[in-house]
Structure 1
Amino acid sequence: MSNIKKVSELAGVSTATVTRTLKSPELVKPKTREKVLRAVRESGYRPNAMATVFKRGRANSIVVLVPKLVNPFFMNVIEGVQTGAKKHGYTVLLGDTKGKSELENQYASMVLNGRADGLIQLDYTFPFSKDDTELGQNAAIVSVCDRIGGYKFPFVELDNFGAARALTHYLIELEHTRIGIISGQRASQIYFDRFSGIARALAEDNIVFEDELMVGDHASFENGREGIKTLMALDSPPTAVICFSDDIAIGAMFGAKELGLSIPKDISITGFDDNPVSQYFDPSLTTIKQPAAEMGERAVNMLIQIIDGNPPTRLREVLPFELVIRDSTGPAAH
């Protein structure tokens, strides 16, 4: 497929001018616009995008990229997205990327070929392919839950630092001083913020965190199951474990029971998200409640502002958390 550089060479203009012509043709001089459009036709670059330029209309739809569609937390976010989109007269196109870049690229291209007016990303990655990077940087995008690293797109997120700090202080009040962590993706901003919150709380109580107490690298039941076994095999195992998602925590609880441990008598386990199943697990899970649906709806509101040419004045919107205390935590075993 031809790329934007080839179009710019054929038209005798810069790639920035090509981008501007495809995105906002009314801002380009007629003579220049015609040269670019002719080059696009000759090169075969983005024929669907051309149809959108000629149509000068909107698809009245937004595409949402979801790394794991079956995740209950993401499903709640999507519910909020759909609520917000309906209020604005937009339909929602779901892209289950399964965390794979090629699927992200495929779904993200819908914004460039006119099938969608904007994009909401629920992961931390830039969703456009290398060839589409220049155009993608100028697309209407909002990220929710996490941030797209290296780019200044607006985002909606939880106060992950504050939530992790509060959760850690709660465990310290229960006399836990050796606290383990089973984390999710370590390349994400969520990981950095939550770990920073835990580290701050420990430091405030003069507790030293040891690197061996951190395990895990993705949000799954199996990560939790294997992570708890790794932690409990340490010469000095933790008395409490903070999991970076409810899925991880449920896996950790299953693994702890396989080891013959009693929760919370032998080990306290906490999660993050407050998925519906968390309150029905045995024992019920202490966790951080995220206002998932509200996050999704606010992301839509920000995105529509951008589509309408009125980008939000603030790039970051932070929502509050709630510490939900249930039966999976208790006083430290001595």
Structure 2
Amino acid sequence: MNTIKDVAERAGVSIATVSRVFNDSSSVKSKTRDLVLQTARELAYSPNILARGLMRKKTETIGVVLPDLSGEFFSEVIRGIDEVAARRGYHILLSSSHSRLDDMERLLRLMAQGRVDGLLLMAPQLRKDLLPLLSTTKLPLVLLESSLEGLDADSYYIDNFRGAYLVVQHLIEHGHRRIAVIMGPEDNFDARERHKGYQAALTEKDIPFDGELAFKGDFQKRSGYFGMKRILSLDDPPTAVFAANDDMAIGAMEAAKEAKKAIPEDIAIVGFDDIPISRYVSPRLTTVHMPIYEMVSRATERVINRIEEAETGEIEKRMLSAGLMVRQSCGCSY
């Protein structure tokens, strides 16, 4: 394996000059820079990015901790973060907390040991247990779809309450009065806000909340599938179902089809997130559009600006609007 010394000898310059080239020093003449870079390419030499970052006290890496890495929702999140980071000259170090606080704490401690320059954290289950750790980290920190009272950090999140309210209100406008809900995890911030929006839409139209129509879910397709099976087994099943995310809504649609129920004629189904596949299932899924790319783009730009000290002002907490995406599964003909 060729070293920086080999590059220097082949190019006829000093090791210090090669080092300055790879550290983007403005003191190197353009002709010399071009020669060194061409020589490095010929020798297939690549500098150790981490070592270079340590010398500069920067790794040019953003730590990203998400509750999960699978599924279309998180694919969109990762794509948005990676595109902005790459455009700004940064890499991402991606990890999953598996929605477990102990894993999250371990990852945060690991990343805080100089492996990254800043952190993007999506933790809908964030609890006060982590407040001391998060408050004392010296790294720029930006939260995604997370909230923790007492934490002084930039945060970007979707108006989950309003989105759920709008989609359930739409079902009511179609004449539905018995509307079931397949909820997300109980300790999940997004899930709680969506459930509140569901209840608010019912209350506004004097429809009493019926606990018999509320079913536990975990944001996974299988919980939507089994939730719908339980819904259809009721003596007086509902005429519509609000699943708190699209994966569960798609699982619910599969169970309904297995039971020979026509959607939306026998039972209407709506979701939340507007993941790409929601446009292609049959019937196409009415859902709530989350501006995922916009949210993660803003957050990534923010953490990089904090790293580069381009933004040193007040903490920003930005709620982005969620919009109704009407298709066919609610009874509309779009």
Scaled by the length of structure 2, the TM-score of the pair is 0.76
2:251 paired residue number: 251
Is 1:96 equivalent to 2:90 in the alignment?
no
Q: CA deviation at 1:282?
A: 1.6
SS in 2 for 1:202: helix
Q: Give identity over the alignment, percent.
A: 33
1:189 paired residue number: 189
- Summarize the Cα distance change of 1:318–1:267 in structure 2 as closer, same or farther, 3 Å threshold: same
User: 1:213 & 1:115 partners in 2: Cα distance?
Assistant: 48
- For the aligned residue pairs, the C-alpha RMSD in angstroms reads 2.8
Q: How does 1:1-334 map to 2 (within 5 A)?
A: 57-126=57-126, 133=133, 138-148=138-148, 151-309=151-309, 310-311=311-312, 313-330=314-331
Report which of the two structures shows the higher radius of gyration computed on alpha carbons.
2
Cα contact 1:179–1:242 (8 A) shared by 2: yes
Cα contact 2:213–2:238 (8 A) shared by 1: yes
SS in 2 for 1:323: strand
The amino acid of 2:299's aligned partner reads A
The amino acid of 1:167's aligned partner reads V
Cα contact 2:178–2:240 (8 A) shared by 1: yes
Cα contact 2:128–2:148 (8 A) shared by 1: no
- Summarize the Cα distance change of 1:95–1:312 in structure 2 as closer, same or farther, 3 Å threshold: farther
Cα contact 1:147–1:188 (8 A) shared by 2: no
Cα contact 1:124–1:189 (8 A) shared by 2: yes
- Summarize the Cα distance change of 1:199–1:126 in structure 2 as closer, same or farther, 3 Å threshold: closer
- Summarize the Cα distance change of 1:216–1:288 in structure 2 as closer, same or farther, 3 Å threshold: same
- Summarize the Cα distance change of 1:116–1:110 in structure 2 as closer, same or farther, 3 Å threshold: farther
Cα contact 1:249–1:271 (8 A) shared by 2: yes
Cα contact 1:158–1:290 (8 A) shared by 2: yes
Unaligned stretches of 5+ in structure 2? 1-50
The amino acid of 1:177's aligned partner reads R
The amino acid of 1:147's aligned partner reads S
The amino acid of 1:322's aligned partner reads G
SS in 1 for 2:269: strand
Scaled by the length of structure 1, the TM-score of the pair is 0.76
- Summarize the Cα distance change of 1:210–1:314 in structure 2 as closer, same or farther, 3 Å threshold: farther
- Summarize the Cα distance change of 1:110–1:176 in structure 2 as closer, same or farther, 3 Å threshold: same
SS in 1 for 2:235: coil
Unaligned stretches of 5+ in structure 1? 1-50
Q: CA deviation at 1:111?
A: 2.8
